[in-house]
Amino acid sequence: QVRLQESGPGLVKPSGTLSLTCTVSGGSIGNNIYYWGWIRQPPGKGLEWVGSVYFSGSTYYNPSLKSRLTIFVDRSKNQFSLKLTSVTAADTSVYYCARHSTTVSSNFDSWGQGTLVTVSS
Amino acid sequence: QSVLTQVPSVSGAPGQGVTISCTGTTSNIGAGYGVQWYQQLPGTAPKVLIYGATNRPSGVSDRFSGSIFGTSASLAITGLQADDEADYYCQSYDNSLGAWVFGGGTKLTVL
Please give the order of strands across the beta sheet that includes B18-23.
B18-23, B72-77, B64-69
Beta bridge partners, A79, equal: A23, A74
pLDDT in tens, A41-87: 999 999 999 999 999 999 999 999 999 999 999 999 999 999 999 99
What average pLDDT does chain A have? 96
Q: B102, A63: Cβ pair inside 8 Å?
A: no
Pairing of strands A34-41, A93-101: antiparallel
Confidence (pLDDT) at B47: 97
| Phi–psi pair at A84, nearest 5 degrees | -125, 120
How is chain A split among helix, strand and coil, in percent rounded to 5? 5, 50, 40
Indicate if the pLDDT at residue A103 is higher than 90. no
pLDDT in tens, B26-38: 999 999 988 999 9
CB-based contacts of A64: which residues, under 8 Å, 6+ apart? Answer: none
| CA A88 centroid distance within chain | 17
Report whether B15 contacts B84 (CB < 8 A): no
Strand, coil or helix: A14: coil
CB-based contacts of A86: which residues, under 8 Å, 6+ apart? Answer: A15, A17, A68
Q: A107, B36: Cβ pair inside 8 Å?
A: yes
Please give, rounded to a whole number of angstroms, the shortest distance from the CA of A91 to a CA of chain B.
Answer: 16
Confidence of residue A102 (pLDDT cuts 50, 70, 90): confident
- Give the whole-angstrom CA distance, residue B77 versus residue B20: 8
Indicate if the pLDDT at residue B16 is higher than 80. yes
Confidence (pLDDT) at B43: 93
Confidence (pLDDT) at A106: 85
Q: B38, A108: Cβ pair inside 8 Å?
A: yes
pLDDT in tens, B85-103: 999 999 999 999 999 999 9
Please give, rounded to a whole number of angstroms, the shortest distance from the CA of A16 to a CA of chain B.
Answer: 25
Please give the order of strands across the beta sheet that includes A18-25.
A3-7, A18-25, A79-84, A69-74
Q: How many CB pairs under 8 A join A and B?
A: 61
Residues of B within 8 A of A49 (CB-CB) are: 99-102
pLDDT in tens, B36-67: 999 999 999 999 999 999 999 999 999 999 99
Confirm or reject contact between A37 and chain B (CB < 8 A).
Answer: yes
Average pLDDT of span B2-15: 96
Could you say which residues from 79 to 108 on chain A have a Cβ atom under 8 Å away from some Cβ of chain B? 96, 100, 104-108
Confidence (pLDDT) at A83: 98
Indicate if the pLDDT at residue A97 is higher than 90. yes
